[in-house]
Amino acid sequence: MTVRVQQAAFDIGDEIDGMRAGDARVGAIATFIGTVRDVNDAASVSALVLEHYPGMTESALGEIVADAKSRWNILDALVVHRVGKLEPTEAIVLVAVTSAHRQDAFAACEFIMDFLKTRAPFWKKETTPAGERWVDARQSDDDAAARWSPDTR
């Protein structure tokens, strides 16, 4: 279980290869990559700045990953999240989960993303033609996280 917060870009293939290297128990790897779009809420976006709460970010992500591991039969999980200035098409976040079977890997990967979106202290500020603006949180993200109440599997 690894969580990393970094300014630098990451190589998706290297990250996935690294986490599953040599583990022949792995039969399934589910991954999610979030990337910067050039449009959001009807405005064009030329850049994004990701701010975070340094003291808390890794521990919040670590807790989400540990929670996923307690709910599903997964072998490993990796979260890499970038901070700082990003441009359209750049990767913001990578979540990768390994498991023997695909259902556990998919569910844990989606769970980690839903809670990352609502619990991990990151904030996006967009540059649009009208200037900079903080991105508003989405109700749909709260709804997605609420699906995973403790008694729902």
- Among a second copy, another protein, none, partner that 149 touches (CB below 5 to 8 angstroms by kind): none
- Among another protein, a second copy, none, partner that 124 touches (CB below 5 to 8 angstroms by kind): another protein
Query: Which tokens sit at 132?
Result: 């900079």
Contacts of 24 (CB under 8 A, 6+ apart): none
For 82, list phi and psi in degrees, rounded to 5.
-90, 155
Cα(1)–Cα(4) distance, rounded to whole angstroms? 10
- Among another protein, a second copy, none, partner that 121 touches (CB below 5 to 8 angstroms by kind): another protein
Interacting residues with a second copy (CB under 8 A): 11-14, 16-17, 20, 22-39, 88-89, 100, 102-103, 105-106, 109-110, 113, 140, 144
3-class secondary structure, 98: strand
Q: 45-57: b or e for each residue (b if 16 or more CB lie within 10 Å)? A: bebbebebeeeeb
Interacting residues with another protein (CB under 8 A): 34, 50-53, 55-56, 59-60, 81, 92-93, 102, 113, 116-125, 134-137
User: From the CB of 89, what's the least distance to a second copy, in Å?
Assistant: 5
Quickly count: other Cβ atoms within 10 Å of residue 37's Cβ: 12
Task: Identify which of residues 20 and 81 has a Cβ nearer to another protein in the complex.
Answer: 81
- Among another protein, a second copy, none, partner that 9 touches (CB below 5 to 8 angstroms by kind): none
